[in-house]
Structure 1
Amino acid sequence: MLKKILIALIVAVAGLMAYAATRPDTYEVSRSIELAAPPARVHALVNDFHHFPQWSPWQKLDPAMQTSFDGPDAGVGAKYAWQGNKDVGKGSMAIIESIPGRKVGMDLEFIEPFASKARTDIDIEPTASGSKVTWSMRGDNNFISKLMSVFVSMDAMIGKDFEESLANLKRISESAN
């Protein structure tokens, strides 16, 4: 009986691993929001990491989080690094693309709790009432990420944080009106 249970368990684990291997090699998460703020104001907030703690949902997960800034205050070359509790981990972001009033592109690197790299973009489109902001993140799925995606998608893990961040960005950018 024990032998049959062990064989069934091995088959189940092998099946799970085989299924995980078929998961997509990449992921993408994207959220958008309409703001009653001009593109230049929104760009100024997302192009300068010194403003990031104001609209980031991760800052409140660890108020004692250690952060540092490097490079120019804003734009290409600006860098932001953090180290905090298990909820926020350790990592860094660097602005690699900045188009005034239109876009900020960043390289994102997570170091802890597990290593991964991603590209994030904040695209800003002018609208009749202000701006439409789209925050997207895309990266590669290694085998561990593929295995995790069997149980919870990257969209489910990150999407709600993007929504909260964009709501904070809306509040901050519109309060300057």
Structure 2
Amino acid sequence: MFTTLLIILVVIIAAVLVYAATRPNDFVVSRSASVKAPAEAIFPLINDFKRWPEWSPYEKLDPQMKRTLSGADSGKGTAYAWEGNSKAGVGRMEITNSVPASLVSLKLDFEKPFRANNTVDFTLAPSGPNTTVTWAMRGARPSIAKLMGLSMNFDTLIGKDFEAGLDNLKRATER
């Protein structure tokens, strides 16, 4: 009886691991919002890390978070490192591309609570009097993330933060 249960357990675990291994190797999380403001009014909030506290939901995860800005004042070469509590973690991001009023690209590296290297793009597309702002993050999905993804939906978890940030951008620019 015990041997049969052990064999069934091993088969179930093996099946879960095999299924997790078939999941995609990369991920993309993307959200968009229409903002009643010109791209020129939105762009500076994204392109300057000193302005992120005005809209980024991640800025509120730890009131005691240590922030270090370096490099250029804004745009390409600007870097932002942080060390915070277990919610904020530890990491660094750097603007790798900046096209006025249309694109800000970031290299985003997390150290804690887990290691990850991702890319982030903010695109701004004028649409009449509005601007469609898209926040997208891409990265590799290692085996442990594939396994964790079986019980949690990363798109939903991260997507909620992106939606909150885009709503904050709207409020900050639609005044």
Which range, TM-score by smaller chain? over 0.9
Find out whether 1:30 has 2:30 as its counterpart.
Answer: yes
Moved over 4 A (4+): none
Counterpart CA distance in 1 for 2:76 and 2:59 is: 23
Aligned residues between the structures: 175
3-state secondary structure, aligned to 1:77? coil
Q: Residue 171 of structure 2 corresponds to which residue in structure 1? A: 171
Structure 1, residues 23-64: CA drift from partner, whole Å, max 9, x if none?
Answer: 001100100001111111111110000111221112222111
Aligned-partner SS, 1:23? coil
Which residue in 1 is equivalent to 2:69?
A: 69
**Cα distance in 1 between the residues matched to 2:96 and 2:148:** 29
Name the counterpart of 1:128. 128
Sequence identity percentage: 43
Matched, 1:104 2:104: yes
CA distance in 1, matches of 2:97, 2:151: 34
SS in 2 for 1:88: coil
Give 5+ residue unaligned stretches, structure 2. none
The CA deviation at 1:130 is: 2.5
Give the secondary structure class of the aligned counterpart of 1:73: coil
5+ residue gaps, structure 1, are none
Matched, 1:41 2:44: no
Partner residue of 2:55? 55
Give me the TM-score of the superposition, normalised by structure 2: 0.97
TM-score, length of structure 1 as denominator length? 0.96
The equivalent of 1:83 in structure 2 is 83
- What is the rounded CA distance, in whole Å, between the counterparts of 1:173 and 1:68 in structure 2? 26
CA distance in 1, matches of 2:144, 2:159: 20
SS in 1 for 2:37: coil
